[in-house]
Amino acid sequence: MEELKAFLTKYRDLHALVTAVGVWGLHGIVFAETGLLVGFFLPGDSLLFTAGLLTVEGILKVNIWVLLAGLSVAAVLGDQTGYLIGRRAGQALYAREDSRFFRRKHLLAAHDFYEKYGGKTIFLARFVPIIRTFAPTVAGAAGMEYRRFVLYNIAGGIAWVWTMVGGGFLLGKTFPAIGKHIELVALVIIFISIIPIVLETLKARREKRDAAAGTGA
């Protein structure tokens, strides 16, 4: 773990990080972010977006369709692993003490998120840093129906990877010089990431307001 932290510190620049880890390293990062409970510090969204850009530039030498398919599988398997950890470890996870790569408050935040959105959490959490690391584990500990989890997992994994990697690839194709402005790209990534949550929040408020109006009537 110390070696991993030192590596990520050395390669803070996303361009350098993607180049250093390569295609297989990207798969490992995507899997670890949701499958190992220690990946909350990994730059998932921005890393995927940068991978799309570098694929256009030819720096990441892989066919875009192969990359999209492979990373989708890694994302789904990561959530699957997190779910199984939750099912087996159960409530013991909530008593686990903090460590360098585990924060109990993050697990509790994911639990609150799950309590609010239910099964949709598995899909929505893909676009929320930190929450996506712990959401599948919380779902497993809560006993979420496996078939339902799998459906949300597959849909969320594909949507996340294709939005981020595909977005980077399309922008790179349309605006070849965008790779020189990673800082601005990061802002775009943040905006894209919060759209599903904003829409869901507005929907929940509207439903609550309509319910209150109906009760008052």
Q: How much is the pLDDT for 1?
A: 45
Is 184 in contact with 209 (CB distance < 8 Å)?
A: no
pLDDT confidence bin for 59, thresholds 50/70/90: confident
Q: How much is the pLDDT for 97?
A: 64
What average pLDDT does the segment 34-59 reach? 78
pLDDT tens-digit readout, 61-102: 889 999 999 999 999 999 999 899 888 876 666 566 655 545
**Torsions phi, psi for 102 (to 5 deg):** -140, 130
- Spatial neighbors of 2 by CB under 8 A, at least 6 apart, are none
What is the value of pTM for the model shown? Answer: 0.74
pLDDT tens-digit readout, 128-168: 777 788 888 888 887 788 898 999 999 999 999 998 899 88
